[in-house]
Structure 1
Amino acid sequence: MPSACPLLVSRLITGFAALLLSLAVYAEPRLLHSEPSPFGKILVFEDNGERCLNFNSVTDLGRQTCMDIRHPDALVFSYTRMMISALFVHPRPQHILIVGLGGASLQKTLAKLLPEATIDTAEIDPGVARVAKEYFDYRPGPKQRLFLEDGRLFIENAHRTGQQYDMVLLDAFDVDYVPRHLMTVEFLEHVKAILKIDGVVVANTFTNSDLYEQESATYAHVFGPFFNLRQGNRVIVATREALPDPATLKDNARAVKDKLVPFSVDVERELDRYAHIQTQGTAKVIRDPARE
């Protein structure tokens, strides 16, 4: 008859391992960095295997950025995967503008997917820029250009000087929501003006905002029908000209499918979201205060 001791030891080891895992999951976040900012205290912390950036509180579920420490290429948030899926609409952008830096998830991902592309970023907060470099491996350079200024001012100047982009990604948030001056008809008209003929704008917003219907009406007013992607956040994908048809989307998705695997993007799942097209609503559009 075999001894019961090895079985008992095995069960003890298993139980101890489960206890350690439970403690790791429920441990308090470990604060790495904190600094004041005019836009909210900047916090960098590690929690459950992820390094995150947030404003004011580590317990706020609306985190700005999280990076999987063991798999840093994986896109942790569904909204970043939805935004990257805009490559189904324009698979080979060569000149990209991103408004908002955060932990540089979009910047680093697009740089790896499109090594020949030039990626400009407009970030208003120098503190966020320092944190992105020190804690999230963001490396500005000739192809990864950083401009420390308000995104609207950058876009207005780009319009005035005739700059053109294949893709503009809007990912700017303050503590609560998208700054209002980055939501208006007048702002979006500047965005449209700096897009090339086949250009695309991609905007990260919320699904549970009181401004949801007004946002929809505002984007539709400037761009016409747009793709309305939803999971947690809402990502608006609009084009300067007509939206591509389903066959084109599918062909473009197939072309980038293998490249997206290391970034945890499920191409079929993301492609399904493009069945949802938003058209002009009845809500009042959002305008600059002087135009209201």
Structure 2
Amino acid sequence: MKSGHRRFRWPALLGLALAACSAVLVTYSLSNSLSPRLVHTEPSEFAPVLVIDEYGQRCMNFEKIKDRGRQTCFDVSDPDVMVFDYTRMMTSALFVKPDPRNVLMVGLGGGTIPIALAKILPDAVVDTVEIDPAVLRVAEAYFGFKQGARQRVFVGDGRAFIEKAQREGRTYDLVMLDAFDVDYIPAHLLTREFLQHLRAILTPDGVVVANTFTNSTMYERESATYAAVFGEFFNLRAGNRVIIASRGPLPDDGVLKKNAAALAHALKPFGIDVERELQRFSRHRDWSADAAVLTD
């Protein structure tokens, strides 16, 4: 009986051992796939542009694999779906201006918003200004961005481009500001003088959208500066803070809801829930009345 018991037990023990080894291998594989993997480093005169794969996403970052945040990410399994709240908030500016014919984007990153706008607004022309040619190279090689007749990129400084557009009398229906370096928004893109140039290139009912930080030490002064140039603006907050201002009067809640409903089908593939985004639209003034305006 003892020898028979041993003959029965050895295969069972072997099976358990193999199962345990398999579990270890699966756990290792999952752990390995979740940890950041450096795919590419693009040299740049500003800061090295890194392409990183992690958690089923492809991301762009500057200088370091791990830091406070990513510049751009997309879901490898569904690239259209916007990963970040701020990109959904910026795109929801279409509730304010649903029919822009020409759009200016300052700051390309991986091209998430320009790519989306080309699909949502098939008749619009999207111009993007990107100061770093390395970012453009990475966006095209690793993030699916493609230039064309309606998707144009100009390599240069965003403020210089806007000032030139003003001198030449060119205007835009929608201007989106998403320019960051390794620390924050470049100082010359934050001042009253810059915003005055920006306001001058908007059509009469044109809209500006700015991605900023909720917890920035500049929060109050940024708010005061936008208010000094544009008056009342929408203040959207979810992780980042997005400012939506207009050269003309802001639409009331009824118009926002009507525009959002009309856009719901077009925005759904990008993971934009219009009801959720509408709830973020606030006119509440949450900064000090004596906050100083930023100037050159």
Normalised by the size of structure 1, how large is the TM-score? Answer: 0.91
Alignment check: 8 A CA contact 1:224 1:279 kept: no
Alignment check: 8 A CA contact 1:227 1:278 kept: no
Please state whether the residue corresponding to 1:274 is helix, strand or coil. coil
C-alpha displacement at 1:41, in angstroms? 1.4
The corresponding residue for 2:88 is 81
Gaps of 5+ in 2: 1-11
The corresponding residue for 1:221 is 228
Distance in 2 separating the partners of 1:16 and 1:117: 52
Please state whether the residue corresponding to 1:243 is helix, strand or coil. coil
Distance in 2 separating the partners of 1:282 and 1:110: 38
Which residue type is aligned with residue 283 of structure 1? Answer: A
Gaps of 5+ in 1: none
Normalised by the size of structure 2, how large is the TM-score? Answer: 0.90
The corresponding residue for 1:283 is 291
User: How many residue pairs were aligned?
Assistant: 279
Moved over 2 A (4+): 12-22, 275-281
Which residue type is aligned with residue 197 of structure 1? Answer: P
Alignment check: 8 A CA contact 1:42 1:55 kept: yes
Which residue type is aligned with residue 23 of structure 1? Answer: S
Q: 2:131 aligns with which of 112, 124, 130?
A: 124
The corresponding residue for 1:46 is 53
Alignment check: 8 A CA contact 2:193 2:295 kept: yes
Residues 234-261 of structure 1 show CA distances to partners (whole Å, capped at 9, x for unaligned) of: 0000000111100000000000001111
The corresponding residue for 1:254 is 261
Question: Do structure 1's residue 113 and structure 2's residue 120 form an aligned pair?
Answer: yes
Q: 1:191 aligns with which of 185, 198, 216?
A: 198
Alignment check: 8 A CA contact 2:42 2:138 kept: no
Residues 98-137 of structure 1 show CA distances to partners (whole Å, capped at 9, x for unaligned) of: 0000000011000010011000001000000100110011
Question: Do structure 1's residue 171 and structure 2's residue 192 form an aligned pair?
Answer: no
Distance in 2 separating the partners of 1:189 and 1:77: 29
Distance in 2 separating the partners of 1:86 and 1:100: 17
Pairwise CA RMSD of aligned residues? Answer: 1.9
Distance in 2 separating the partners of 1:37 and 1:72: 26
| 1:88-107 aligned within 5 A | 88-107=95-114
Residues 180-222 of structure 1 show CA distances to partners (whole Å, capped at 9, x for unaligned) of: 0000000000110010111100000001111000000000000
Which residue type is aligned with residue 58 of structure 1? Answer: I
Please state whether the residue corresponding to 1:58 is helix, strand or coil. coil
Alignment check: 8 A CA contact 2:100 2:174 kept: yes
Kindly, what percent of the aligned residue pairs are identical? Answer: 55
Question: Do structure 1's residue 143 and structure 2's residue 150 form an aligned pair?
Answer: yes
Alignment check: 8 A CA contact 1:228 1:235 kept: yes
Which residue type is aligned with residue 284 of structure 1? Answer: A
Distance in 2 separating the partners of 1:65 and 1:256: 24
